[in-house]
């Protein structure tokens, strides 16, 4: 039996927003357009609104990709008249997937878990696009320490669905008590662990922590990678 650590990816080990910011800047500026904090914020806000429209079935994925760049072109200084928003969108996705940004201290933390906690196996359990997750992981060097990636797009089911964790457990082939889920999100990571009857660590918790602790059957919290390491080390050495 191993100590099976399941880590969420975004805002747990990698900084999704920092990658997005970096990629948007690279793509806009290399096409002669301006980029700023305000432009990134406008992109984020409009993108979020479009994803809601997509979820409601009002627009297609293709329309979302085109519209977000048409909109952002109108916010930038520079001549966008010859630019194809779909091509820019493709460039943006590709650029983001090779520009992973680590949460500060994440690489050292993961290495420490892998090297110093006996029988540690490290898994990623992430909701998102496979190319984006795999590319960003490889571009940061995290991939060296990871035993397997569970990505919702590959699996056809997402956290917090218990079916997502069933697939993970099937592959891990060890009991659920040998696993612990670490993540920043209550609605996907902590609820998912609860649905799967798996122990959990809420990483960098915020809001009403005590209330959430009870509602989501959370076992531990940690505010920093140092604290998280101590929690995981204790969990691993206690008889379960
Ligand atoms: Mg997350």
Q: What is the CATH number of the domain that holds 212?
A: 3.40.50.1000
Report how far ligand 1's centroid is from the alpha carbon of 188 (Å): 8
What is the average pLDDT score of the chain?
96
Give alpha helix (H) positions in the chain.
16-30, 37-55, 61-75, 85-97, 106-116, 130-140, 152-155, 162-172, 191-195, 209-215, 225-237
For residue 239, pLDDT over 80 is answered with no
8 given a catalytic annotation: yes
In terms of domains, do 189 and 135 share one? yes
Asked which of 97, 115, 141 is the last residue of a domain, the reply is 97
The verdict on 110 and 228 lying in the same domain is: yes
Stretch 137-164: mean pLDDT, rounded? 96
Indicate whether 154 and 200 sit together in one domain.
yes
**Is 166 in the same domain as 193?**
yes
Residue 6 pLDDT level (bands cut at 50, 70, 90): very high
Q: Give me the percent of the chain exceeding a pLDDT of 70.
A: 99
Residues 112 and 10 in one domain: yes
As for how many domains the chain has, the answer is 2
Residues 83, 147 within the same domain: no
Catalytic residue among 10, 161, 184, 189: 10
Cα of 12 to ligand 1 centre, how many Å?
A: 6
* Distance in Å, CA 125 to ligand 1 centroid: 10
pTM comes to 0.91
Cis peptide before 160 (omega within 30 of 0): yes
Decide which of 97, 121, 142 is a domain's last residue.
97
Do 163 and 180 share a domain, yes or no? Answer: yes
Domain C-terminal end among 62, 97, 132: 97
Identify whether residues 48 and 90 lie together within a single domain: yes
Mean pLDDT of 154-172: 97
- pLDDT of 182 higher than 80: yes
Same domain, 229 and 176: yes
Write out pLDDT tens, residues 184-223.
Answer: 999 999 999 999 999 999 999 999 999 999 999 999 999 9
Residue 34's domain comprises: 16-97
Q: Read off the pLDDT band of 240 (50, 70, 90).
A: low
CA of residue 13 to ligand 1 center, whole Å: 8
When pLDDT is averaged across residues 134-138 and rounded to a whole number, the result is 97
216 and 199 belong to one structural domain: yes
**Sign of the dihedral defined by the CA atoms of residues 146, 152, 154, 157, in that order:** positive
Q: What is the token pair recorded at 88?
A: 């820019």
Q: Tell me what pLDDT residue 128 has.
A: 87
Q: Looking at the predicted structure, is the pLDDT value of residue 105 above 90?
A: yes
d(CA 60, CA 53): 9
* CA 232 / ligand 1 centre spacing (Å): 18
Average pLDDT over residues 162-166: 98
Same domain, 35 and 130: no
Structure tokens at 72: 């952002």
The residue-averaged pLDDT of 32-51 equals 96
Residue 238 pLDDT class (50, 70, 90 cuts)? confident
**181 and 113 within one domain:** yes
Across 54-66, average pLDDT: 93
To 5 degrees, how large is the angle CA 210–CA 216–CA 222? 60
pLDDT (average), residues 158-177: 97
For residue 89, the domain's CATH number is 1.10.150.240
């Amino acid at each position: 039996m191993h100590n099976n650590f399941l880590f969420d990816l975004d805002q747990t080990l990698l900084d999704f927003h920092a990658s997005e910011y970096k990629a948007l800047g690279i793509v806009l500026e290399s096409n002669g357009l301006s980029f700023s904090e305000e432009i990134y914020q406008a992109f984020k806000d409009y993108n979020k609104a479009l994803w809601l429209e997509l979820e409601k079935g009002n627009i297609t994925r293709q329309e979302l990709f085109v519209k977000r760049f048409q909109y952002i072109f109108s916010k930038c200084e520079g001549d966008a008249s010859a630019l194809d928003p779909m091509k820019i969108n493709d460039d943006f996705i590709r650029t983001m997937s090779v520009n992973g940004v680590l949460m500060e201290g994440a690489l050292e933390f993961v290495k420490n878990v892998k090297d110093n906690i006996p029988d540690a196996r490290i898994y990623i359990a992430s909701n998102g696009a496979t190319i984006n997750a795999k590319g960003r992981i490889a571009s940061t060097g995290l991939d060296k320490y990871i035993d397997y990636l569970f990505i919702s797009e590959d699996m056809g089911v997402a956290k917090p669905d218990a079916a997502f964790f069933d697939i993970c457990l099937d592959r891990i082939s060890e009991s659920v008590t040998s696993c612990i889920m670490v993540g920043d999100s209550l609605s996907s990571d902590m609820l998912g662990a609860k649905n799967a009857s798996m122990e959990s660590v809420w990483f960098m918790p915020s809001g009403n922590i005590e209330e959430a602790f009870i509602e989501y059957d959370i076992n531990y919290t940690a505010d920093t990678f140092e604290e998280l390491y101590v929690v995981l080390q204790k969990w691993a050495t206690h008889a379960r």
